[in-house]
Structure 1
Amino acid sequence: MAEVEVDIGSIITVGDIKTAPADFRFPTTNQTRHCFTRYVEYHKCMTAKGADSGECNKFAKYYRSLCPGEWSLILAVGVVYLLTSGFK
């Protein structure tokens, strides 16, 4: 197997690493609700401002830093199900 040399500094810088800011609605609690709320905020922003808007990127970063990858997939499947089942 060939070895690949990667310069980590060229991929990510210290300024790029951020997580969701503290939220007074979730003080020292299980972060599941915080994850879900940030996910919903992201999709509300996308609906209100459109998929091409860059203003929603911060919400995407927030929920992606809080939610495990598997949860994001489960939430996405749930949203698609609700939208296709006529839920308003």
Structure 2
Amino acid sequence: MSPTTHSQTTSGEDEFVTIIGGDAEEIGQVFRDQGLAAKDFTIVHRIGRHRIAMAPGQDDMSALVGALLGGRLVAATYARRPR
């Protein structure tokens, strides 16, 4: 399972994509499948274990994500700088 979130940006702003999965191999596959390297995305930091902290009132979403991944949460964030 590898849900992906996309930020909407206007011209001149950084854009970020965070890929969440069970391991680095899943994340790398999603990165390749979406052609993110060809779209000038680069990794912000190494792929690793992450903890999701939700804003107040969003506790149900945090529990849902945790349950879906069975406690195996690995994520990587990629960025594209404005051209």
With the shorter chain as reference, the TM-score category is under 0.3
Which structure has more helix as a fraction of its residues? 1
Q: TM-score, normalised by structure 1?
A: 0.25
Whose RCO is larger (CA < 8 A, sep 6+)?
A: 2
